């Protein structure tokens, strides 16, 4: 299965700033992964738009679930690790900022879930290495290029009670800010390098 790699040219930061006052309910990273993962006893191999759509969901959906002809559903979600926000911006004081979440695939056939955000290096947490430290993941490929200001890594996520997920983590950074993409895939992908080689 080919992996679809892209870097957004528009960060959507205005929406991210506006929605903080309306919706600050965070979800822990591991709980987010459990929400999108397929239970081990399920016969399904892909997910659907019903993930994160229940009344208690912490995802603020933008795409209407009735737009069944679309090939993706988008929303915003606040992710935390160990009860700390993973993105913050100085407005008057530090305020938590949400991630853009996208379900890639038709209503009944989601094959990838992505998180995207523009982040300060002061907030940067390597999600993959965090999961490795918890014993929930293993790094299988590293195509990073530090001279190019780019990190690109692949991980296998194995959570008890859930089917395996593959995580692609991309982080491109400049002086103080960077763009972060995390893609959770239900099928083993082809691992493509997107960073320039060192040297």
pLDDT of res. 151: 85
User: What is the distance between the alpha carbons of residues 23 and 38, in angstroms, rounded to a whole number?
Assistant: 27
Domain segments of the chain as ranges: 25-63+70-175
The mean per-residue pLDDT over the stretch 109-123 comes to 89
Give pLDDT tens digits for 2-60.
443 333 333 344 344 344 444 568 999 999 999 999 999 999 999 999 999 998 899 99
pLDDT at residue 1 above 60?
Answer: no
Q: What is the mean pLDDT of residues 86-110?
A: 90
pLDDT of residue 116: 95
**Residue-wise DSSP of 177-194:** EEEEEEEEESSPPP----
Q: Which of 83-92, 95-104, 143-152, 167-176 holds the top average pLDDT?
A: 95-104
Q: Band of the pLDDT at 193, cuts 50, 70, 90?
A: low
Cα-Cα-Cα-Cα torsion 130, 43, 55, 182, nearest 10 degrees, comes to 30
Query: Residues 150-191: pLDDT tens digits?
Result: 888 999 999 999 999 999 999 887 767 888 999 999 998 887
Confidence grade of residue 126 (pLDDT, cut at 50, 70, 90) = confident
pLDDT of residue 69: 64
CA dist 100 → 33, 41, 78, 147, 161 (Å): 15, 29, 9, 28, 27
Chain centroid, CA 171 distance in Å: 12
- pLDDT reported for residue 12: 44
d(CA 188, CA 113): 14
């Amino acid at each position: 299965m080919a992996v679809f790699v892209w870097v957004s040219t528009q960060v959507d930061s205005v929406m991210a700033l506006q929605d903080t006052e309306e919706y600050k309910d965070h979800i822990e990273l591991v709980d987010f992964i459990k929400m999108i993962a397929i239970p081990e006893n399920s016969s399904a191999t892909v997910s659907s738009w019903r993930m994160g759509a229940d009344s208690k969901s912490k995802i603020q959906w933008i795409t209407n679930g009735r737009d069944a002809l679309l090939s993706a559903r988008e929303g915003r979600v606040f992710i935390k690790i160990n009860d700390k926000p993973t993105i913050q911006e100085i407005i008057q004081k530090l305020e938590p900022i949400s991630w853009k979440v996208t379900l890639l695939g038709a209503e009944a056939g989601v094959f990838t879930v992505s998180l995207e955000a523009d982040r300060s290096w002061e907030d940067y947490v390597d999600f993959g290495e965090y999961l490795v430290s918890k014993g929930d993941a293993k790094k299988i490929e590293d195509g990073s290029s530090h001279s190019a200001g780019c990190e690109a890594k692949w991980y296998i996520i194995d959570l008890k009670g859930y089917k395996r997920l593959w995580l692609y983590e991309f982080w491109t950074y400049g002086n103080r800010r960077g763009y972060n993409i995390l893609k959770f895939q239900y099928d083993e992908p082809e691992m493509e390098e997107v960073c320039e080689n060192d040297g």
